[in-house]
Amino acid sequence: MYNQYPTTRKEAQETKATHYFTGLPCKHGHIALRKTKGTCMDCLKIEWEETNAKRALLPKSEASKKAGKKYYENNKELIKSKALGRSLEDRKRYRDKWAKDNPELRKANTKHRRTKHKQATPKWLTQEQKTAIKQFYLDAMAATRVTGTPYVVDHIIPLRGKLVSGLHVPWNLAVITREENHIKANKLIDTPPK
């Protein structure tokens, strides 16, 4: 796997390679690639994760929220595909973190809502379509995490509309900001049926 890399730091320096691989554990026991300046890549990854975790705990400024939102809008597909490629454990970790960061949203995710969703889910929905529904919720979580702005899954046609009731199916879902969702909900209440 690593046989295209120099095996010593000296060799890496001499050949101007960016990384080398000794096959020996670092002082923390990782057998991983090392940067030519000597840093173990696994140690570096842990360090990044710790820094990011710390940063995530800090309150976000309006400017950074705005930048995050812009980044999300420009990199939606990449962020989504990354979320798809994540392990179940990682997903659980993000989900737990999201729940912790969004207590309000979490509370809203009550038994009532689940019942509402279940009732609006047609029996004929395929497993793929059910997975697609889950993906919308993962996307909303990823968007919230990246932007610092809460994103929610919206039912394009509300499940219990005044005139028609929508279904809990992938083609009736959209990831929008919570704010947009509130605006939409208010509009639906304010607008008398024609």
Binding site for Zn ion (CB under 5 A): 26, 28, 30, 40, 42-43
Position with the least CB separation from Zn ion: 40
Q: State which residue, 35 or 117, has the beta carbon closest to Zn ion.
A: 35
In the complex, the smallest distance separating the C-beta of residue 31 from Zn ion, rounded to whole angstroms, is: 9
HEC secondary structure over the chain: CCCCCCCCHHHHHHCCCCEECCCCCCCCCCCCCEECCCCEHHHHHHHHHHHHHHHHHCCCCHHHHHHHHHHHHHCHHHHHHHHHHCCHHHHHHHHHHHHHHCHHHHHHCCHHHHHHHHHCCCCCCCHHHHHHHHHHHHHHHHHHHHHCCCEEEEECCCCCCCCCCCCCCHHHEEEEEHHHHHHHHHHHHHCCCC
* Residues 147, 173, 152, 105, Cα dihedral to 10°: -150
Which residues 6+ apart lie within 8 Å of 123 measured at CB? none
- Closest approach, Cβ 39 to Zn ion, in A, equals 8
Q: Whose Cβ is closer to Zn ion: residue 24's or residue 63's?
A: 24
To Zn ion, the closest distance from the beta carbon of 28 in angstroms equals: 4
* Comparison of 36 and 149: residue with beta carbon closer to Zn ion: 36
Least distance in Å: CB of 27 to Zn ion?
Answer: 7
For the CB of residue 18, give the shortest distance to Zn ion in the complex, in Å: 17
Closer of 30 and 117 to Zn ion (Cβ): 30
- Of 41 and 167, the one with the shorter C-beta distance to Zn ion is 41
